[in-house]
Amino acid sequence: MASHIVGYPRMGPKRELKFALESFWDKKSSAEDLQKVASDLRSSIWKQMSDAGIKYIPSNTFSYYDQVLDATAMLGAVPPRYGWDGGEIGFDTYFSMARGNASVPAMEMTKWFDTNYHFIVPELGPDVNFCYASHKAVDEYKEAKALGVDTVPVLIGPVTYLLLSKPAKGVEKTFNLLSLLPKILPIYKEVISELKAAGASWIQFDEPTLILDLDSHKLEAFTAAYADLESTLSGLNVVIETYFADITPEAYKTLTGLKGVTGFGFDLVRGTQTLDLIKSDFPKGKYLFAGVVDGRNIWANDLASSLSTLAGLESIVGKDKLVVSTSCSLLHTAVDLVNETKLDDEIKSWLAFAAQKVVEVNALAKALAGQKDEAFFSANAAAQASRKSSPRVTNEAVQKAAAELKGSDHRRATNVSARLDAQQKKLNLPVLPTTTIGSFPQTLELRRVRREFKANKISEDDYVKAIKEEIKKVVDLQEELDIDVLVHGEPERNDMVEYFGEQLSGFAFTANGWVQSYGSRCVKPPIIYGDVCRPKPMTVFWSSTAQSMTSRPMKGMLTGPVTILNWSFVRNDQPRFETCYQIALAIKDEVEDLEKAGINVIQIDEAALREGLPLRKSEHAFYLKWAVHSFRITNCGVQDTTQIHTHMCYSNFNDIIHSIIDMDADVITIENSRSDEKLLSVFREGVKYGAGIGPGVYDIHSPRIPSTEEIADRINKMLAVLETNILWVNPDCGLKTRKYAEVKPALQNMVAAAKLLRTQLASAK
């Protein structure tokens, strides 16, 4: 019985790639140094899987930034603004596309389906001259082979690549991206031919868009693409991977009818209904890559249950055609449980990170082949039973409070227009008020202070003193820049979710459970293992301290319940909405304590609300109902004069704009500039928005500093579709990943642009 891994984390168990990337970007190390770190990581990953007994080991899932950007490089689809003049694409062009540079902005970045991973969106049009410009897939296959490991090269499938792209600037928005299939397939054929020549026997195409609601035209593109590739693929075994949800009956029929394809991979964790399709009609003689080990969460697999599922599938497809696999790439989970020192033994026994999931996959494959490791299965069964019966999982008071939420929609008593009037009388803000999203640069010194405090190397008094000094620096800078509504900069927080999870019951934390979000950016999601409540105030001290340093409004900064949920590893023993309601009640307590402490502006970030939207339209309404309700629960009890902000970023929000309005926040700040002002189109189409809104005026994920004129131009575009009295001026997102040398001039230009527009508006009256 064979085993397979869809993909594997790239950052390394101790984030080795992150630090190598940042050193290279800061010009502290060479390209050769970066390549050496990457090569060492790839080698260790391949060896680990080989030693664990995995038969189908992936290659080309390693990336310096993003696998979709790698496909863009492979196809030579570099936007003209980067000045690429042909040849093999190097780091300068590659990272300019990802991050921008001093003269041009980065390409758009958005969420990879419903995960917290981000990809770089290809910009395409009829005039793109595709060419084979990155040999990475072939090079990595050869690299593994030289180490004695025969891998399965992985490529983003051609149809998924086009469906995830967008029309380039100047190209009609109605341009049919699938019309480019005949232009990109010749490059795919070149890559396939080189892989065959190098000795590859299998190739994996990732086509996750097959799980979306696709019309017949889009499904026909898959049929056409693989029919065109069939002769080139001859002599190779081909597996097409789908993941993250059930596949529709129409897409299943299309997929299993593709020419030249040997096997099909399905997510059987999130796509349980796909099992019925497999049982009713699976093509004879084809391989089934059964994704029974969860690639998106950190809970140990229920091996007995998975083995039962696999035994049923074996009777359908045959013993020699069933391959045990992960549900998706392990990119979305932490690397290795062995590195964890903070978790107690009980909780640790409930978990499996990427390295452990590799072992689970192989254990299931061996068990199906009659080589069951009885001790391993017995320990797994004991851990499953322990988790179900542990008293630390259940809090009856929390469950009762959450149950009592039913029957109310938890709306504030007064409409938003009246609230904004009351807030303006209290806050006395100018037209086009300026603010930032929350965080300020996290300096090396600041990180050192937090690290030493956690390690008990400095006292609590010294820690509080250092954090207060940092807050004072941030407050003084904002006053110097003449920003209207201030933030304290969040110097006490390494991560917006981890910080709150550490202070809520029902959460556990890892020492090295890092997961890549984008580029070198890694997050360490908390683990929600039990019922959630707030034992004591979490942010009141720091917000009150910051407010005491200024007469200007100081925002209290909180992370919303939906974002905490979506950016955590969530318990899988109860519905997600029940956990979300519990978190909402905890945040509600914090909001009301902030208000009592004199904080008049409170931001409750819901950056991940759109991210959690199910991939199938039939499931949208239910999710949005409980997600939006959860947000309203957090602030339903505050006074009209308390201004509630929320923030969202790096997703496509246009399709949920009515749900955003239904959140009933007083002000929403939302990413806009990196997505090339896509958000504004929804207002051009007639959607009326009556609350305050701040579409971002510049991209904070690029080191580039926008000019005053550029920002003023963006504000003018906003004023063309939004009322002057509701528009705010702010960056796209928080500033923690930037340096002060970038932040200060960018904010100076932002404030100058707002003042320029205020003057122009006043003179036009």
What integer pLDDT is reported at residue 407 of this predicted model?
79
What integer pLDDT is reported at residue 649 of this predicted model?
79
Lowest-pLDDT range of 356-360, 573-577, 734-738: 734-738
Q: Does any domain span residue 529?
A: yes
pTM: 0.91
Q: Has 662 been labeled as part of a binding site?
A: yes
Distances (CA, A) of 84 to 103, 186, 269, 452: 14, 21, 42, 45
Task: Tally the C-alpha atoms within 13 A of residue 71's C-alpha that lie toward its C-beta.
Answer: 27
Q: CB-based contacts of 436: which residues, under 8 Å, 6+ apart?
A: 478, 483, 487, 730, 731, 734, 735, 747
Q: Has 406 been labeled as part of a binding site?
A: no
What integer pLDDT is reported at residue 677 of this predicted model?
66
Buried b (16+ CB within 10 A) or exposed e, 194-229: bbbeeebebbbbbbbbbbbebeeebbebbeebbebb
Torsions phi, psi for 669 (to 5 deg): -105, 140
Q: Does any domain span residue 232?
A: yes
Lowest-pLDDT range of 163-167, 214-218, 264-268, 650-654: 650-654
The answer to whether residue 307 scores a pLDDT higher than 70 is yes
Q: Has 567 been labeled as part of a binding site?
A: yes
Q: CB-based contacts of 490: which residues, under 8 Å, 6+ apart?
A: 438, 439, 440, 496, 499, 557, 734, 736
What integer pLDDT is reported at residue 551 of this predicted model?
97
What integer pLDDT is reported at residue 495 of this predicted model?
79
In tens, the pLDDT along 436-464 reads 999 999 999 999 999 999 899 999 999 99
How many Å apart are CA 707 and CA 757, to the nearest integer? Answer: 14
How many Å apart are CA 383 and CA 386, to the nearest integer? Answer: 5
169: domain CATH number is: 3.20.20.210
How many Å apart are CA 94 and CA 92, to the nearest integer? Answer: 6
**Pair of tokens at residue 290:** 């059964």
Q: What percent of the chain has pLDDT over 90?
A: 89
What integer pLDDT is reported at residue 497 of this predicted model?
87
Any idea of the CA torsion for 616, 618, 621, 622, to the nearest 10 degrees? -90
In tens, the pLDDT along 313-334 reads 999 999 999 999 999 999 999 9
In tens, the pLDDT along 181-233 reads 999 999 999 999 999 999 999 999 999 999 999 999 999 999 999 999 999 99
Tell how far CA 657 is from the center of its chain: 20
Question: Chain-wide mean pLDDT for the chain?
Answer: 95
Angle, helix 136-146 to helix 31-51, in steps of 10 degrees: 60
Q: Which residues pair with 527 in a beta bridge?
A: 508, 569
How many Å apart are CA 187 and CA 399, to the nearest integer? Answer: 56
**Pair of tokens at residue 456:** 């008990």
How many Å apart are CA 632 and CA 615, to the nearest integer? Answer: 24
Handedness of CA 336, 338, 344, 345 (dihedral sign): positive
Q: Does any domain span residue 168?
A: yes
- Decide if 410 is catalytic: no
The H or E element containing residue 557 is strand 555-559
What integer pLDDT is reported at residue 528 of this predicted model?
97
Residue 134 · residue 88 · CB < 8 Å: yes
Q: 85 is in which domain, residue-wise?
A: 63-104+122-261
The β-bridge relationship of strands 521-523 and 515-518 is antiparallel
The answer to whether residue 761 scores a pLDDT higher than 80 is yes
Q: Has 116 been labeled as part of a binding site?
A: yes
Instruction: Give long-range contacts, CB 8 A cutoff, 24+ apart: 14-22.
Output: 14/339, 14/512, 15/514, 15/522, 16/40, 16/41, 17/41, 17/64, 17/520, 18/514, 18/520, 18/521, 18/522, 19/520, 21/64, 21/519, 21/520, 22/520
Q: Does any domain span residue 465?
A: yes
Confidence of residue 702 (pLDDT cuts 50, 70, 90): confident
In tens, the pLDDT along 595-614 reads 999 999 999 999 889 889 99
Task: Tally the C-alpha atoms within 13 A of residue 742's C-alpha that lie toward its C-beta.
Answer: 21
Q: Has 118 been labeled as part of a binding site?
A: no
Q: Does any domain span residue 27?
A: no
The β-bridge relationship of strands 151-156 and 123-124 is unpaired
Q: CB-based contacts of 115: which residues, under 8 Å, 6+ apart?
A: 244, 296, 332, 611
Q: Does any domain span residue 283?
A: no
Handedness of CA 615, 616, 617, 619 (dihedral sign): negative
**Pair of tokens at residue 406:** 């039913």
Q: Does any domain span residue 31?
A: no
**Tokens 């910009």 belong to residue:** 123
Compute the average pLDDT of residues 692-707: 90
How many Å apart are CA 100 and CA 98, to the nearest integer? Answer: 6
Q: Does any domain span residue 581?
A: yes
Task: Tally the C-alpha atoms within 13 A of residue 417's C-alpha that lie toward its C-beta.
Answer: 4
Q: Has 217 been labeled as part of a binding site?
A: no
Angle, helix 576-596 to helix 620-635, in steps of 10 degrees: 20
Compute the average pLDDT of residues 517-526: 92
Residue 540 · residue 488 · CB < 8 Å: no
Buried b (16+ CB within 10 A) or exposed e, 480-512: ebebbbbbbbbbbbbbbbbbbbeebbbbbebeb
Residue 190 · residue 74 · CB < 8 Å: no
What is the Cα Rg of the chain in Å?
26
**Tokens 């900064």 belong to residue:** 557
Confidence of residue 377 (pLDDT cuts 50, 70, 90): very high
Count helices and strands in the chain by DSSP H and E runs: 27, 22
The answer to whether residue 623 scores a pLDDT higher than 70 is yes
What integer pLDDT is reported at residue 689 of this predicted model?
83
Compute the average pLDDT of residues 654-666: 90
Torsions phi, psi for 121 (to 5 deg): -80, 120
Handedness of CA 50, 52, 56, 61 (dihedral sign): negative
What integer pLDDT is reported at residue 687 of this predicted model?
77
Q: CB-based contacts of 318: which residues, under 8 Å, 6+ apart?
A: none
The count of structural domains within the chain is 2
Coil, strand, or helix at residue 325?
strand
What integer pLDDT is reported at residue 651 of this predicted model?
61
**Tokens 């309700």 belong to residue:** 629
What integer pLDDT is reported at residue 35 of this predicted model?
97
DSSP class of residue 341 equals: -
Q: Has 605 been labeled as part of a binding site?
A: yes
Instruction: Give the DSSP letter string of 70-99.
Output: HHHHHTT---GGG---SSS--HHHHHHHHH
Any idea of the CA torsion for 120, 124, 130, 132, to the nearest 10 degrees? 10
Coil, strand, or helix at residue 572?
coil
Burial class of residue 535 (count of CB atoms within 10 Å of its CB; 0-12, 13-18, 19+): exposed
Lowest-pLDDT range of 555-564, 652-661, 700-709, 711-720: 652-661
The β-bridge relationship of strands 123-124 and 118-120 is unpaired
Torsions phi, psi for 296 (to 5 deg): -120, 0
Task: Tally the C-alpha atoms within 13 A of residue 680's C-alpha that lie toward its C-beta.
Answer: 21
Distances (CA, A) of 591 to 146, 258, 400, 502: 58, 54, 21, 17
In tens, the pLDDT along 670-699 reads 888 766 666 677 777 777 888 999 999 998
Compute the average pLDDT of residues 84-100: 96
The answer to whether residue 650 scores a pLDDT higher than 70 is no
What integer pLDDT is reported at residue 611 of this predicted model?
87
In the set 4, 118, 488, 701, the catalytic residue is 701
Q: Has 580 been labeled as part of a binding site?
A: no
